[in-house]
Amino acid sequence: MPLASDPGAGRSGHPGRFLRRAGLVAGVAAGAVLLLALAVYAAWPWLAGAVAPRLAPALGLDALAVSSGRPGPHGLRLVRVHARRGGIDVTAEDVQVRFHAAGLAAGRIDVVAADTLTLTLLADVPGAAGAAADGPSTDPPQPVELLAAVPTDRASVDSLLVLVPAQEFRAAGRLALDDAGLAVELTAETPQRARGLVLRATLSRGGSIDASLIEDPATGEADERLSLTARVRDGGGAARLDASGRLDLRGIVLELFAAAGLPDGIERLRGDFEASLPWPVPADLDWSHP
């Protein structure tokens, strides 16, 4: 006979029935969550491919495509990532992303390692998403902000390729990001007259940039074409690029710099230099005046 003080027991017939029902509901809910998680896991490659293009305008990109494997508990493999903005086309292949739960909660990734990263410099594309007046800012970030925005402290690219189709130029090298900052080394492969050019550049965590361009270092008589030290600073509300160094630009080196925006008609550019320029450097900057 049910106790008068236990009205629930009179309706259910036995207290254990309520517990069984509660357990059943909890089990069904847990099963539903598990099925949802499995569905997301199974559909992840499709989801990544479908969502990435929609994110491109918000990121200031003209195009974004991602081909992804399924995530694991501590990592994810991106088969291919392609992004384009204006005249810059970037493709990364076989990218391994390593993470742990605490790092993800803080918005950080442990390691990013790419087998291949290809950077192609093309002619500017009219109507780029980033060029819209009401779109995301097209100004490049300051070097310190650039490294701070990268959600990992360690990254590497085993095969870094830089292509400039207009000059039939190709350079290969490596890239590494660690506690000291970003380091890049590239060696020109084509055309024939560009072979032997070696670019070494570093971007420190403090924001300083050091770069050197050397020609024919294998001969033992390396000819330095460019030596540069630069830093972007806050110039009283407007950022400035302070740069100094030495250059001797001619031939294919001068052609490559012309492709990057140097004025046409210069046959050789040589000497020591020291400059303080607005950052970002305006595309219509008058280089004829100090």
49 touches 68 (CB < 8 A): yes
Q: Please state the pTM of the whole predicted model.
A: 0.71
User: What is the pLDDT confidence band of residue 106, given thresholds at 50, 70 and 90?
Assistant: confident
Exposure class string for 81-90: b at 16+ Cβ within 10 A, else e: bbbbbbebbe
Main-chain dihedrals φ then ψ at residue 24, nearest 5 degrees? -65, -45
User: 131-187, pLDDT tens digit by residue?
Assistant: 444 444 455 556 666 677 777 888 899 999 999 888 888 999 999 989 888 899 999
Which residues are bridge partners to 176 per DSSP? 156, 183
Q: Which helix (H) or strand (E) holds 14?
A: none
Question: What is the chain's mean pLDDT, rounded?
Answer: 74
Structure tokens at 217: 């270092």
Residue 125, number of CB atoms within 10 A of its CB: 16
User: 50-83, pLDDT tens digit by residue?
Assistant: 667 777 787 677 888 888 877 777 888 888 888 8
What are the domain boundaries of the chain? 48-135, 139-290
Compute the distance between CA of residue 240 and CA of residue 283 in angstroms, rounded to an integer.
15
